[in-house]
């Protein structure tokens, strides 16, 4: 059984153009989030396609969904987003030791 880290799962979820577009739109929307229908309207995605992509983002821990009556609102889980960004940038510019290559001659 292969275990996938939360960071790898989040990055894999963002590795699809539609999901990346959805996530960026939700980042723009802020804490209020957007209804599923609003996301579909903005991005021109069919409801079944949108549901699949949102499910992947929710499963990856990047998007939270709140039901308000008959509507489902989607918003970015900002602490989760910051954890992924922190993971990516935690060792920025810290340097890497490189062994010199031996001459083949």
- pLDDT tens digits, 83-103: 999 999 998 888 888 888 776
Q: HEC states along 61-104?
A: CCEEEEEECCEEEEEECHHHHHHHHHHHHCCCCCCCCCCCCCCC
Q: How many C-beta atoms lie closer than 10 Å to residue 62's C-beta?
A: 24
Locus of tokens 């030791």: 97
pTM of the model: 0.85
Locus of tokens 């922190």: 86
Tens digit of each residue's pLDDT (9 = 90 or more) over 25-84: 999 999 999 999 999 999 999 999 999 999 999 999 999 999 999 999 999 999 999 999
Collect all residues with Cβ–Cβ distance below 8 Å to 51 and sequence separation of at least 6: 36
The dihedral through the CA atoms of 87, 30, 57, 74 has a sign that is positive
């Amino acid at each position: 059984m292969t275990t996938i880290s939360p960071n790898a799962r989040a990055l894999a979820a963002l590795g699809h153009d539609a999901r990346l577009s959805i996530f960026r739109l939700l980042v723009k929307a802020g804490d209020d989030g957007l209804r599923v229908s609003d996301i579909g309207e903005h991005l021109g995605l069919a409801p079944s396609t949108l549901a699949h992509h949102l499910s992947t983002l929710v499963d990856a821990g990047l998007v939270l969904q709140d039901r308000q009556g008959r509507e489902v609102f989607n918003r970015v889980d900002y602490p989760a987003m910051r954890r992924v960004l922190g993971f990516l940038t935690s060792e920025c510019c810290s340097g890497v030791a490189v062994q010199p290559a031996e001459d083949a001659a």
